[in-house]
Amino acid sequence: MPELPEVETIRRSLQGPLEGARLLSVRVRDRRLRRPVRVAALERLNGRRVGDIGRRGKYLLLHLVEGGGLLLHLGMSGRVLLLSRGAALDTHDHVCWQLDGAGARGGIEMRFRDPRRFGLVLSRVSGDLSRHPLLASLGPEPFDAAFSVDYLRERAAHSRRPVKNMLMDASVVAGLGNIYVSEALWVAGVNPLTQAGRMSPTRWGRVREAILDVLAAAIDQGGTTLNDYRNASGEAGYFQVYLQVYGREAQACLRCEGSIRRVTQSGRSTFYCPGCQH
């Protein structure tokens, strides 16, 4: 589920409750995530205090004041939950942390829940989390100045792969996933099958703008959802975004009234309008 906007929304929702809280203990109920959870390494963080909470692409970075921290990735079905201590366990609550949270009587509990177990819980005992090797090959953040038209042209030079595949490549740009790439290309009016190396600077400009607009709107939407619903369940979860093309196969295009088409690219569904995306 989560792409950049969801992860960013979760990051914002965790910041307040977690910052300054102390990790007391951790319980690993299932080690089998994308990489096996290292229990001893997680336990070494007990007693430390949560500092800043960051995001890089789709990764969440829980920096600890004393150094090191937790690196979380939600995969396809992961969630981070903040609950009062002792809340009912779900089958897929794989890692549970007890914290001495400020507000809640008896502290708070953070849980990593992930039915499909494509997610990741990693820890670093010391040093800067953002230097973690997993983050080294990530491309620029979409909102970073480095994500420019010139950069896109450079990366696309001589590439024959479709523009959609290029934008799905995390080493090109961090945080984009299948949904928002389809949405952004629809907004830009660019056919997802277009060879990346054949895109004009003008079209790259439109694509870049569309990516920023689509992501910003989704993050806004997430903020709205947060304000409206959070704390009812204590969940820092997902939210409904109004999608203009994704999942609308055979329905009328909202711009030109053509019929939305679904194709498969590298095993993933792409939605686009043949009528107005060229």
Partner DNA sequence: CGTAGACCCTGCGCGC
Partner DNA sequence: TGCGCGCAGGGTCTAC
Would you call 2 a catalytic residue per the annotation?
A: yes
Among 28, 65, 104, 134, indicate the residue that binds DNA (CB under 7 A). 134
Would you call 141 a catalytic residue per the annotation?
A: no
- Total Cβ atoms within 10 A of residue 63: 20
Would you call 3 a catalytic residue per the annotation?
A: yes
| CB contact at 8 A, 26 and 44 | no
Are β-strands 120-124 and 69-73 bridged in parallel, bridged antiparallel, or unpaired?
antiparallel
Partner residues linked to 64 by β-bridges: 50
Using rule CB under 7 A, residue 179 touches DNA: yes
Would you call 155 a catalytic residue per the annotation?
A: no
Using rule CB under 7 A, residue 65 touches DNA: no
Of 2-10, 15-23, 36-44, 96-104: span binding DNA (CB under 7 A): 2-10
Using rule CB under 7 A, residue 131 touches DNA: no
Task: Count the site residues for DNA by CB under 7 A.
Answer: 37
| CB contact at 8 A, 42 and 95 | yes
For DNA, give the closer residue by CB, 77 or 148.
77
**What Cα–Cα distance (Å) separates residue 86 from each residue in 89, 212, 229, 270?**
8, 40, 22, 42
Site string for DNA, 226-265 (x = CB under 7 A): ------------x--x------------------------
Using rule CB under 7 A, residue 57 touches DNA: yes
3-state secondary structure of 26: strand
Using rule CB under 7 A, residue 202 touches DNA: no
Structure tokens at 275: 């009528």
Using rule CB under 7 A, residue 118 touches DNA: yes
Min separation Cβ 14 and DNA, Å: 19
Q: DSSP label at 129? A: G
**What Cα–Cα distance (Å) separates residue 30 from each residue in 69, 91, 180?**
20, 10, 31
Using rule CB under 7 A, residue 72 touches DNA: no
Determine the residue type at 153: R
3-state secondary structure of 258: coil
| CB contact at 8 A, 152 and 194 | no
Task: Please pick, among 58, 113, 206, 248, the residue that the annotation labels catalytic.
Answer: 58
Of 15-23, 95-103, 155-163, 198-206: span binding DNA (CB under 7 A): 155-163
Among 25, 103, 116, 251, indicate the residue that binds DNA (CB under 7 A). 116
Using rule CB under 7 A, residue 196 touches DNA: yes
Among 91, 200, 202, 227, indicate the residue that binds DNA (CB under 7 A). 91
- Alpha carbon 21 to chain centroid, angstroms: 24
How far apart are alpha carbons 183 and 174 in whole angstroms?
16
How far apart are alpha carbons 209 and 117 in whole angstroms?
34
Using rule CB under 7 A, residue 89 touches DNA: no
Which active-site residues does the annotation give? 2-3, 58, 268
Q: List residues binding DNA (CB under 7 A).
A: 1-3, 6, 32, 34, 57-58, 73, 75-77, 91-92, 115-118, 134, 159-162, 165-166, 170, 176-179, 196, 238, 241, 266-269
